[in-house]
């Protein structure tokens, strides 16, 4: 099967070993002075180890790999003690890996271990639907009226939810029920000056880059899950004029087919000079 998995640049790797403790799943070892991925089955591809590497030798790639096995991973996690168990559960929760998290908790219960409180304190700036790091936590943003001079100007943000990147969002988030969706390429908000008022107002945003993001099959699955879980009121797509940006529409079409859903799509194309074509 093809999936996201860690890759290591041997030329950059110094064998310092900083990555090993940040992979409680047990997929990494130092062998012959270099970090090695010793088991596809233990690597979840979420990249917890990347930030621990001082040389930038670690990244995530999309390739053929054996299926990640959460039950086998938990056998290794349990042996490392309560702190590692909690860190692993929080790691899965932070990345909205609900199925893997459920499997991990089932293994703990089957073996008679208590499930630790692994969720961080919820954020307070908005209404939250769960715990975890602020980067991937499901949040509804409640905005009051804009006061004069707020945010350095008179234009309010129309963003109503967090996260917005498709890699991070939870397709089961309750705010997607009967939502008007805006699916946009990453570059559009930078190219089109009136993005918030023209496109984002009264919509929930989903953003990704079909050219640079290595998670396209995962994106199709996530959108399909979202469409299968919720009744969607409308879908608008905004992309750039460059050919690779047509992948936004391709991902959407594949997701609709997978979910067995059909929507009337409004699609807009933005020129690199910032005009609607």
Query: Could you tell me how far CA 220 lies from the centroid of its own chain?
Result: 13
Q: What is the pLDDT of residue 93?
A: 81
97, pLDDT greater than 80? yes
Highest mean pLDDT among 65-69, 111-115, 230-234: 230-234
Higher pLDDT, 153 or 85: 85
**Structural domain boundaries, residue 14:** 1-67
Residues 6 or more apart in contact with residue 194 via CB below 8 angstroms: none
Instruction: List C-alpha distances in Å: 109 to 78, 84, 201.
Output: 12, 16, 45
- What is residue 89's three-state secondary structure? helix
Q: Would you say residue 3 lies in a domain?
A: yes
Average pLDDT over residues 147-163: 69
14, pLDDT greater than 80? yes
Residues 164 and 248 both lie in one domain: yes
Q: What is the pLDDT of residue 138?
A: 67
Residues 163 and 196 both lie in one domain: yes
Strand pairing partners for 237? 183, 267
Mean pLDDT, all residues of the chain = 84
Average pLDDT over residues 87-114: 85
Residues 6 or more apart in contact with residue 129 via CB below 8 angstroms: 138, 139, 140, 170, 173, 174, 175
Residues 209 and 233 both lie in one domain: yes
Q: Would you say residue 123 lies in a domain?
A: no
Of 24, 50, 67, the domain-final residue: 67
CATH number, domain of 44, equals 3.30.70.20
- R_g of the chain, CA atoms, integer Å: 21
Residues 1 and 55 both lie in one domain: yes
Q: What is the pLDDT of residue 173?
A: 83
Q: Would you say residue 82 lies in a domain?
A: yes
Q: What is the pLDDT of residue 132?
A: 45
Q: Would you say residue 276 lies in a domain?
A: no
Residues 6 or more apart in contact with residue 269 via CB below 8 angstroms: 238, 239, 240, 241, 276, 277
Q: What is the pLDDT of residue 85?
A: 85
Residues 222 and 200 both lie in one domain: yes
Strand pairing partners for 5? 61
ω before 213 within 30° of 0 (cis)? Answer: no
Q: Would you say residue 225 lies in a domain?
A: yes
Residues 59 and 80 both lie in one domain: no
Average pLDDT over residues 29-35: 87
**Selection from 60, 75, 149, 68 nearest residue 107 by Cα:** 75
Higher pLDDT, 246 or 51: 246
pLDDT tens-digit map of 239-263: 999 999 999 999 999 999 999 999 8
**Selection from 170, 161, 95 nearest residue 127 by Cα:** 161
Residues 189 and 92 both lie in one domain: no
- What is residue 76's three-state secondary structure? helix
223, pLDDT greater than 90? yes
Q: Would you say residue 73 lies in a domain?
A: yes
pLDDT tens-digit map of 162-195: 889 998 888 888 889 899 999 999 999 999 999 9
Q: What is the pLDDT of residue 41?
A: 80
Q: Would you say residue 230 lies in a domain?
A: yes
Residues 73 and 62 both lie in one domain: no
pTM above 0.85, yes or no: no
Give the number of domains in the chain.
Answer: 3
144, pLDDT greater than 70? no
Q: What is the pLDDT of residue 148?
A: 44
- What is residue 203's three-state secondary structure? coil
Residues 164 and 105 both lie in one domain: no
Residues 63 and 76 both lie in one domain: no
47, pLDDT greater than 90? no
pLDDT tens-digit map of 116-133: 887 654 433 444 554 445
Q: What is the pLDDT of residue 153?
A: 55
ω before 163 within 30° of 0 (cis)? Answer: yes
Half-sphere exposure of 203 (CA within 13 A, CB side): 23
Residues 173 and 99 both lie in one domain: no
Q: Would you say residue 124 lies in a domain?
A: no
Residues 187 and 263 both lie in one domain: yes
């Amino acid at each position: 099967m093809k999936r996201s998995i860690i890759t290591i640049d041997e030329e950059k790797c110094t064998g310092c070993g900083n990555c090993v403790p940040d992979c409680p799943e047990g997929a990494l070892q130092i062998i012959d002075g270099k970090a090695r991925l010793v088991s596809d089955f233990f690597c979840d591809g979420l990249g917890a180890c990347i930030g621990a590497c001082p040389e930038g030798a670690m990244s995530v790639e999309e390739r053929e790999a054996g299926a990640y096995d959460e039950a086998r991973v938990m056998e290794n996690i349990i042996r490392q003690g309560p702190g590692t168990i909690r860190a692993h559960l929080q790691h899965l929760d932070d990345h909205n890996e609900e199925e893997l998290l459920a499997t991990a908790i089932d293994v703990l219960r089957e073996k008679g271990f208590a499930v630790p409180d692994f969720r961080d304190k919820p954020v307070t700036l908005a209404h939250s639907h769960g715990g975890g790091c602020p980067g991937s936590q499901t949040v509804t943003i409640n905005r009051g009226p804009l006061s004069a001079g707020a945010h350095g100007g008179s234009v309010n943000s129309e963003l109503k939810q967090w996260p917005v990147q498709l890699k991070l969002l939870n397709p089961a988030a309750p705010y997607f029920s009967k939502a008007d969706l805006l699916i946009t390429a990453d570059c559009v908000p930078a190219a089109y000056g009136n993005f918030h008022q023209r496109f984002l107002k009264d919509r929930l945003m989903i953003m990704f880059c079909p050219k640079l993001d290595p998670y396209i099959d995962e994106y199709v699955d996530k959108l399909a899950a979202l469409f299968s879980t919720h009744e969607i009121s409308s879908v608008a797509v905004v992309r750039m004029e460059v050919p690779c940006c047509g992948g936004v529409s391709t991902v959407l079409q594949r997701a609709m087919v997978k979910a067995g859903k059909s929507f009337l799509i409004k699609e807009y194309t933005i020129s690199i000079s910032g005009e609607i074509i």
